[in-house]
Structure formats: structure tokens, C-alpha cells
Amino acid sequence: MIVYMKRGATEEQIKAVLRRIEEYGNSYNIDKEGEHVLIGIRGDTRAVSEGVFEQLPGVARVIRVSPTWKEVSREFKPKDTSVDIGNGVKIGGGHFAVIAGPCAVESYEQLIKTAEVVKAAGGHALRGGAFKPRTSPYAFQGLGEEGLKYLKMAKESTGLPIVTEIIAINDIELFLKYDVDVFQVGARNCQNYALLKELAKTGKPILLKRGMATTIEEYLNAAEYLLSHGNSNVILCERGIRTFETASRNTTDVNAIPIIKQLSHLPIIGDPSHSTGKRNLVASIAYALAGAGCDGLIIEAHYNPLLAKTDADQQVDGEELKRIIKKSIAIRDIVEEDVSKLYNGGTK
């Protein structure tokens, strides 16, 4: 961390900065740029707050050069992490997996028919929401426990591991009871640290979606909550960010894929259904995400999308899912060399 003093900062002001550095137990180096004094803070600065220095008299700016996360980083663990989500399915470290299924579990019939479609299309796991966080309190909030029951039945029938969203600490026991394979944390709860800390304790694979306005730095810090509390079975997921553009529901931040792969060993998948919000964009964006080097996809699918009750416009049918999976894998194969080259120091 670098503390950049204002032009004309007094000796006394500089000393006050040095005192706070010493209180943190760090050492320092003093340098000059033009008429400005720069104070470099040495040692571990993860617990050091920029604000503590920014507010001291005579300070112009404070610049953090080392990240605040640790265990999620490539520096901590250079090799790719591969997360085992059950029934032989792995994500990351060379394993590309597609999770698919309906936005919401609506009935056993809808779920099992869709699960069979997913399996036939080559999908590796089944998704489906039982507890739905909806913008409006008057919208369908999900089947709750009943939905979990159907998911368990669908897994028993198809062998597909199940992935479903958890929105409250109180539901953890229920999720364990129904043998949920992957606990999904949705975009709105990406920085719900109380939930993350409790989920870490379960040791279960966590699919942590990026928040709509979460920077990559904040996102990796959120993942660090899971790892630093003992759970490294974490799958990241780019699901679109919020920007000024309203032509699609969100903006797919495809840059985030290679950036996160460089910074972190965790697997990252893409969610073209939410990052576009339109069924007729899902295939193109699935291919874009695969081209960017992601480790898998999560796609909303429905045995008959025209009948869906939620997010109806972004669910694809079985035929399209099959084509998307096949082509995404073909594209991911083409880029494999670049991905490992780029992330392992082959190119600057």
C-alpha cells in the first residue's frame, strides 16, 4: 500500500502516517515523486484500511497494490481447482460441465420431463429453483420444500447431481436433508457474508454467482469468505452485470472469464440465460463464454419453454440445449491451449 502525501505536507503530518503504520505492525519506505512524498507500507496489508490513512491531514491518496484476498489467488495455489459435485461430475481443472434445468421447479412432472431432456442433451447436472428470490413480493416465490423433494426424486431417477439456490441460513438443514449437491448462492446474495460463513461450514460445493454490481475484486473477496472459513469447493459464475445498456437484461462480462482465470485457481462457469435474459441470445452467448475459456455453463432449459411460469423468455428447449452443449465443448477444445498458456505464464 502506498500513501501519497500532498505537496507541502509537513514533517509532523508524515510522522503521523508513520505512527499509524507502526500501530498496524508494518514497516515502511519513504520516497519522493516530484514535490510529493510517497510512503510505501511493507508487509501484509490485508487488514490495513486505506481509509485510516486517507483521512490523515496531508495525505493526498492511498493506493492498494496487493489484493485483500489470499486463498482464492493463483499465487496461493497456482494449479486449477477441480470441484467434484457428485455422481462423477467435476467442474474445473480441465472438466467442462453443463448444468441445466428449469428456472423454477413448478411440478414433479415439469421437473422430471426437463431432467430427462437435460440428460438426453448431454447435460451433466440438473438445476431448478425451489426458493426463488423475486423482485416483486407478488410474484411466484417457488415451491419451497416440495421443490427440494422433487429435485431429490429427479436425481434418483436420472443420476444427475442437483444444483439449487439457497436464500436463507435457516434453510441449510433442509438442503442437507434433501441431499442437494451444489448450494447455489444467487447474485443478490453474493455479498451476504452471514450466509456465506454458514455455508462454508457445510463443506458442500458452493456455486457462488457474481452480484449484478460486484467488481471482480469484491467477488473474489466474497469467495475468500468461503475459503477462509474452511470450504474450498467453490465454483464461480459470471451471470451478467448491470450497465447502462437495456437492450438485454444484463451485460455479459465476458472479460471477467480470462481475468478471473488469471487471478484465481477456482473454476468459473458462465450463465448465458441470466446474462442475456432472452432465449434467442442464449446460444450465441454460450459460445462466447466458451470461447473466453470458461469451465462450464449453467443454462435454463425447459421441456416446453412456452409453458414456463418464471423467466419464461430465457429457457431453451432440449433440442437447442443439445446443440449448445455440443458446440460449446467444440469451441472450448479449440481454445484449450490458449487458456492454459495464458494462465500459466506462457505469454506475459
Interacting positions 112-131 with a second copy (CB under 8 A): 131
User: Which amino acid, 164?
Assistant: T
Q: For a second copy, how many residues bind (rule: CB under 8 A)?
A: 126
Query: Using CB under 8 A, which of 12, 15, 51, 88 touches a second copy?
Result: 51
Q: Report if residue 33 touches a second copy, rule: CB under 8 A.
A: yes
Q: Report if residue 77 touches a second copy, rule: CB under 8 A.
A: no
Binding segment for a second copy (CB under 8 A), chosen from 76-84, 85-93, 175-183, 185-193, is 185-193
Question: Which triple of cell numbers denotes residue 204?
Answer: 458442500
CA gap 65, 50 in Å, rounded: 11
Report whether 301 contacts 318 (CB < 8 A).
yes
138 Cβ partners below 8 Å, 6+ apart?
Answer: none
Complete edge-to-edge strand list for the sheet that includes strand 59-63: 27-33, 36-42, 2-5, 59-63
Query: Using CB under 8 A, which of 290, 298, 301, 325 touches a second copy?
Result: 290
Report whether 130 contacts 167 (CB < 8 A).
no
**45/81 with CB nearer a second copy:** 45
Count CB-CB contacts under 10 A for residue 246. 9
- Minimum CB separation of residue 236 from a second copy in Å reads 14
**Segment 131-150, which members bind a second copy (CB under 8 A)?**
131, 133-140
**Segment 92-111, which members bind a second copy (CB under 8 A)?**
none
Closest CA to 160 of 116, 113, 218: 116
Residue 58 half-sphere exposure toward CB, CA atoms < 13 A: 17
**Segment 216-275, which members bind a second copy (CB under 8 A)?**
216-218, 221, 224-225, 228-229, 241-248, 251-259, 262, 275
**162/254 with CB nearer a second copy:** 254
- Minimum CB separation of residue 341 from a second copy in Å reads 9
Q: Report if residue 86 touches a second copy, rule: CB under 8 A.
A: no
**11/347 with CB nearer a second copy:** 347
Q: Report if residue 88 touches a second copy, rule: CB under 8 A.
A: no
Query: Using CB under 8 A, which of 18, 50, 122, 144 touches a second copy?
Result: 50
Q: Report if residue 52 touches a second copy, rule: CB under 8 A.
A: yes
> What DSSP string describes 267-303?
-EEE-HHHHH--HHHHHHHHHHHHHHT-SEEEEEB-S
